[in-house]
Amino acid sequence: MKNIIFTMIALLSTIVAVLLFISAKTSKPLFNADGYASMNGGTIGGSKAFKRNIFTVTNKSELLKALYDAKGELSNDPKIIYISGVIDLCVDENNKPLTEKDFAAAPYTLEKYLETYSPEKWGRKNVTGELETARKESERNQAKTIVIKVGSNTTLIGKDKDAKIIHGNLLLEKVSNIIIKNITFEDAYDFFPEWDPSDGPNGNWNSQFDLIAIANSTNVWIDHCTFSDGDRPDSTLPVYFNMKYQTHDGAVDITRQSNYITLSYNYFFDHDKTTLVGSSDNSTSDKGNLKVTFHHNYYEKINQRMPRVRFGEVHVYNNYYNNIGIYAIGIGREASIYAEANFFENIKGPATQIKYYDTKGAGYIKDVKNVPPIEGIISSSDGIHTGKVNWNPKSRYQYKVDNTNDVKNICITYSGAGKPERY
Ligand code: CA
Ligand code: CA
């Protein structure tokens, strides 16, 4: 009798344990990635999270607590993090906003920097010396606060249409399987831009921070998000040395052998350099990587890089471009771009050829049903290399192309944070 009771208790506790285990897991992915992010095993983010790894966060310290484990290490456990309200990343441990003076390293001040490195006084050689060293240190100080790493197997998702992450830079570095969805990202403001006298014919101000930076990472899906410079668009920024004092870098930059990435149904507006795919002509290890899909993104009042591609095999389809300052698609070294059924308005030229014009290393674009066609509409004097794109996305993954003339309405209706899903 004793034995039977013992066996029954053991059996019951096993059943309870199994039931608890089952209920602790969400049963299926919240969403399914498409395009390149659906390859290489797929991108499900934190869909397999235990209940204890499903968080709702309302400020930076709660976000960090969700991203790091109890030992203080970046967590790769499956996790779903709901963003609620506005999360400012440029704050101290008590979520108090920080500003330029909190990061500046002596003797840097902008006044001294402008005085020392003015082209009249300094000339066109690279800037060096204690002020430039102090500027770099100041920028590193800011980076320690505003650059936030995200571990593998993570879903970051806006709880509602008001979810925002501002004044910082999400860094996806050497990670995989990440979904970022339904979040508005604003103003990764760099307090300490660098003057580079050798960048372009007139020199340029350059900044460090992207809203999202993806490096050495695979399987990332960014869907239904909004990206802009927030309260500090370029139109509000001063001009020094005859050039815009550029305090922002990329919106979403994809570099260093990253692979299997999809950006879909996002809204990018009022920004300059939007998406790099490949950051250097010398990064030959990017060959065979940088496979990225861009579809149903809405670009409005953007200057350039939607995207600007080096080495990658990139599928750009059904995107809507309106009011583009310089160019939409940049064809850099050994780029292989399949551009399909995109709709362009208020633009000088949809695409531009960047360096390696007619030499070994030239990049190529295939023009399929774009309006207006990419062939013949040229924003660089050197022409566009069409053809020589020897891959077809249909052999990579399944997708449905919308009619080019419907793309504008579809993107206005469905693209960006808080916009409806489209099935
Ligand atoms: Ca530059
Ligand atoms: Ca960047």
Task: Report how far residue 188's alpha carbon sits from residue 292's, in angstroms, rounded to the nearest whole number.
Answer: 23
Which ligand places an atom closest to the C-alpha of 275? 2
**Residue of 124, 135, 140, 305 with catalytic role:** 305
User: pTM of the full predicted structure?
Assistant: 0.92
**d(CA 17, ligand 2 centre) in Å:** 48
Percent of the chain residues topping a pLDDT of 70: 91
Tell me the pLDDT tens digit for each residue of 232-242.
Answer: 999 999 999 99
Model pLDDT, residue 189: 98
Q: Which helix (H) or strand (E) holds 338?
A: strand 336-340
**Inter-residue contact 300 to 322 (CB < 8 Å):** yes
Task: Show the tokens assigned to 419.
Answer: 């916009």
pLDDT at 171 over 70: yes
Q: Find the mean pLDDT for residues 124-143.
A: 97
**d(CA 228, ligand 2 centre) in Å:** 15
**d(CA 210, ligand 2 centre) in Å:** 5
Q: What is the mean pLDDT of the chain?
A: 92
pLDDT at 103 over 50: yes
141-155, 333-347, 357-371, 408-422: the lowest-pLDDT one? 357-371
Tell me the pLDDT tens digit for each residue of 373-389.
Answer: 886 444 445 567 777 89
Task: Report how far residue 219's alpha carbon sits from residue 201's, in angstroms, rounded to the nearest whole number.
Answer: 38
Model pLDDT, residue 37: 98
Tell me the pLDDT tens digit for each residue of 190-208.
Answer: 999 999 999 999 999 999 9
Rg (C-alpha) for the chain, rounded Å, is 24
Model pLDDT, residue 25: 47
Which ligand places an atom closest to the C-alpha of 206? 1
**d(CA 307, ligand 2 centre) in Å:** 12
**Which of 244, 100, 250 has its CA nearest to residue 169?**
250
In the chain, where are the structural domains located?
35-414
Kindly report the CATH number that applies to the domain delimited by 35-414. 2.160.20.10
Catalytic, 305? Answer yes
Model pLDDT, residue 388: 83
Q: Buried b vs exposed e over 70-106: b needs ≥16 C-beta within 10 Å?
A: eeeeebeebbbbbbbeebbbbbeeeeeebeeeebbee
Model pLDDT, residue 271: 97
Tell me the pLDDT tens digit for each residue of 253-284.
Answer: 999 999 999 999 999 999 999 999 999 999 99
